[in-house]
Chain A
Amino acid sequence: MLFGGALAGAVRTSVTRLDAGGETLTLEAWRRLLRDPAFADAVLFSVRIAVLATACSAAVALLIALTLRRRGTSLRALAALPVPVPHLLVAVVAVLWLAPGGVADRLLGGLPVDVVRDRAGIGIVLVYVYKEAPFLALLLLAAMGRGMHEREEAAAVLGATWWQRLRWVVWPTVRGPLVVGCIVVAAFVLGAFEVPLAVGPNTPLTIAEYAQQATQDDLLAGEGLQAAALLVAAAASILLAVAAVRLAKDPQGD
């Protein structure tokens, strides 16, 4: 209800303009949004970051899960430490450490690549990988705990190699939670704001940054533009969430 109400409010703001007499119905915000090359850049940049951060997080999560699946709970807890840390805190620490003039710069006399304010968005991706890989690893470890070890042993007894066990036992077990987790991560990164603001470049902007800047340029007309941009991000996240729900119902892909 809360989400629906917020969406309805955003739709209303995107198709009305406030003036002295009240609200006027207009599609001007949508026209401006769809014609603005900066918005197209923002969509591309957001999608690129979401795909890269999700793919890298998934790969790292798989490695962590495969490494830790037979280890004790203390190591697992250690790996899960970044999960409760706020994204903004990680981003701020990244700036303190990795920005020019930061701690790493002073200790090492410069870094080989710029990861803060870089136009490729490497810094944003790194922050999300640090935050999301442990989250995905926890999902995978939970899935692996449900009899997978026994199935692997049975496969080994039947003569399956390491690769065959990975392909026919491990992968089908983790594929469902991994795909669902990845969709959640992608939806989150697509709409995220604070990490790109702290470590991201001046240009291109993410969709959320574009929306924030819209009202800095023009408080009243920018409101409609902001609502329209955020509705695009929300629509993408809803589509991803629907996909996640469908896949969650059929984790084995049957």
Chain B
Amino acid sequence: MPRTGRYAPRVAAASVVLLLALLPSACGGGAGSPADPATTGRAGWDEVLGQARGQTVRFWMFGGDERLNAYVEDEVEPALDRLGVRLERVPVSDTADAVRRVVAERRAGKTAGGGVDLLWVNGENFASGKEVGLWLEDWSRSLPNSRRFVDWNDPSIATDFGVDVDDQESPWQRAAFVYAYDRSRIKEPPDSFDALLAHARRHPGRVTYPAPPDFTGSAFVRQVVAEKGEDQAFAFLRELNPYLYRKGEVFPKSQAELDQLFGDGLIDFAMAYDANFVDAAVGKGLFAPSARPFLIGGGALTNVSYVTIPANAAHVAGAMVLADLLLEPRLQARKADPSVLGNPTVLEVSRLGEQRRLFSRTAVTRSEYVLRSLGSPVSELAAADVAPLEQRWRREVLR
């Protein structure tokens, strides 16, 4: 139940974090070892659950993915309801909007009772907030599902775009950068960036990508940089430019615009930081049924995204319960199912025991619109390198 008074929420947050901080010692298990909730840390977590009961958690998240919105409403919300916690999804067009809200509250001196309880975040947004102490500390590794099923020794989980997670965010989903082609028009899609350049030369105006700092366009540039090194990558992008759609003078401003161009048959390839995006787009009738996913390079660019709790959140206990729920094997398996979302899980499947079956059912339902292998995953660049790359792209490629 929300409390009133200037200091009450801060005291509540501190007590919840204290309870959670005590959990690992009570469990006798460290971050790397799975613990049995039946025998360990139950009392402390029960207190968190008790505090959370009756709270309404405002979960700020990107609202542009209809399937993800449906997943949160159809799967997460009822499960949270059963724990006595209400979910209020606050859709934003850009995660930075949510971070801006937290920054504005910080500037206004609002140290408790903030408007954001939990937000979906990663990369630069997390790094910026961490730099100035926006996020709640010492909570994510102690969540029961995190201790049991998350491998915090995995660097792809423990670091977010090269920034140490530091117990300030809890993993939620993996994303892979995947391309699409239409097999009725293209027999063999390019398997390397050099092959992409060759294709663009043979078919001028049939290739493009969204202009950074758009999320998708920025990821494309980062993958080229990860594959070729920065200077070589920019030489490649400059060489590619005259063969792009509208001679590289005009770029789509968003992935939606790119999808539209691909769906209309005006370009040969689409791309998205979503392993399941072809399935979703075909389902919506945006792409032709002959569209298929493919990878460029040795493997997909991958990242993990997280949920984090602002230090001034009004409903810390509710936010923690929700963060823990998002790591439930059943909900993660539903998320991994291509018919729902098709996001690879952040859980360490070898720790799941009997519940591993949930994920084997997911594998059976895989469709031709989802790649069976994402190759050797390509790690994301450091968060601090992203903005300079986008600025360099504007200076050297766009002008």
| Residue pair B103, A18 in contact (C-beta under 8 Å) | yes
Q: B106 interface residue, CB < 8 Å from A?
A: yes
Contacts of A254 in B (CB 8 A): none
Interface of A is mostly: mixed
| Residue pair A217, B132 in contact (C-beta under 8 Å) | no
Q: A117 interface residue, CB < 8 Å from B?
A: yes
Please, which residue of chain A has its CB at the minimum distance from the CB of B245?
Answer: A100
| Residue pair A220, B131 in contact (C-beta under 8 Å) | yes
Contacts of B398 in A (CB 8 A): 202-203
In the complex, A101 Cα to B286 Cα: how many Å? 14
Contacts of B99 in A (CB 8 A): 219
| Residue pair B399, A203 in contact (C-beta under 8 Å) | yes
Contacts of B96 in A (CB 8 A): 215-216, 219
Q: B368 interface residue, CB < 8 Å from A?
A: no
A contact residues, range: 20 to 34
| Residue pair A203, B125 in contact (C-beta under 8 Å) | no
Contacts of A69 in B (CB 8 A): none
Please, which residue of chain B has its CB at the minimum distance from the CB of A217?
Answer: B387
A-B pairs with CB below 8 Å: how many? 63
| Residue pair A217, B213 in contact (C-beta under 8 Å) | yes
| Residue pair B213, A18 in contact (C-beta under 8 Å) | no
| Residue pair B266, A202 in contact (C-beta under 8 Å) | no
| Residue pair B249, A119 in contact (C-beta under 8 Å) | yes
Contact of B107 among A18, A119, A219 (CB under 8 A): A18
Please, which residue of chain A has its CB at the minimum distance from the CB of B384?
Answer: A218
Contact of A215 among B100, B106, B133, B264 (CB under 8 A): B100
Q: A231 interface residue, CB < 8 Å from B?
A: no
Q: B137 interface residue, CB < 8 Å from A?
A: no
B84 → chain A closest CB, angstroms: 35
Q: A13 interface residue, CB < 8 Å from B?
A: yes
Please, which residue of chain B has its CB at the minimum distance from the CB of A37?
Answer: B395
- Can you sample 15 A-B contacts with CB below 8 Å? A19-B131, A19-B132, A20-B133, A101-B264, A101-B266, A117-B250, A202-B251, A203-B398, A215-B96, A215-B100, A217-B387, A219-B124, A219-B125, A220-B103, A223-B100
Given A201-B250, A218-B124, A219-B100; 20 other pairs, CB 8 A cutoff: A13-B107, A19-B131, A20-B131, A38-B394, A100-B246, A100-B266, A101-B260, A101-B264, A202-B251, A202-B398, A213-B213, A217-B213, A217-B387, A219-B96, A219-B99, A219-B103, A219-B128, A220-B128, A223-B100, A223-B103
